[in-house]
């Protein structure tokens, strides 16, 4: 399974924005959500392995040729594990929130949560302001440092944990 960074960040924002005393505290909440998702993904993989993992083995080079399941070493490459998706979206969301809610204080926490709850219906000006905030991939440390912090936590949390081959 894949870690969905935007989903973990969304949960952290929705569940903790009102109580977070600082952006750093909200980042800690996001990291806890990432850790929780990593644990769930690891448990899911082990459950998949116990059931044989046949479907994944069929589509993995080497397994059919060796007549060996992926989890029994049937593939050519033996070192694999978890990966994540959506890091740019997660970092962009946190950067916009940091800028408008915590630094400028031009958007209240309640307003942002209400806009999220209503999928920005009736909040078009706020949506445009959020979209105008710095974005990852533009050589801007403001956003890139947030992505780096999330990825560093993700990597450090998984480091040393066993993959499907132990």
Whole-prediction pTM value? 0.83
Q: What is the pLDDT of residues 17-56, one digit of tens each?
A: 999 999 999 999 999 999 999 998 887 765 555 555 677 7
Q: What is the pLDDT of residues 50-79, one digit of tens each?
A: 555 677 777 778 888 888 776 677 777 665
Q: What is the pLDDT of residues 98-153, one digit of tens each?
A: 999 999 999 999 999 999 999 999 999 999 999 999 999 999 999 999 999 999 99
What's the Cα-to-Cα distance from 36 to each of 29, 33, 131, rounded to whole Å? 11, 5, 28
What is the 3-state secondary structure of 54-119? Answer: HHHHHCCCCHHHHCCCHHHCCCCCCCCCCEEECHHHHHHHHHHHHHHHHHCCCCCHHHHHHHHHCC
């Amino acid at each position: 399974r894949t870690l969905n960074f935007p989903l973990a960040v969304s949960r952290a924002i929705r569940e903790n924005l009102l109580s977070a005393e600082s952006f750093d505290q909200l980042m800690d909440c996001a990291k806890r959500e990432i850790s929780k998702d990593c644990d769930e993904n690891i448990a899911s993989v082990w459950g998949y392995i116990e059931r044989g993992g046949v479907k994944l083995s069929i589509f993995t080079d080497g397994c059919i040729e060796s007549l060996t399941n992926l989890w029994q070493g049937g593939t050519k490459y033996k070192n694999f594990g978890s990966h994540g998706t959506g890091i740019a979206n997660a970092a962009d969301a946190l950067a916009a929130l940091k800028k408008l809610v915590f630094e400028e204080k031009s958007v209240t926490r309640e307003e942002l949560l209400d806009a999220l709850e209503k999928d920005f219906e009736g909040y078009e000006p706020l949506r445009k302001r959020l979209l105008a905030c710095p974005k990852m991939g533009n050589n801007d440390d403001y956003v890139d440092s947030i992505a780096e912090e999330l990825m560093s936590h993700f990597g450090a949390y998984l480091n040393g944990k066993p993959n499907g081959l132990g």
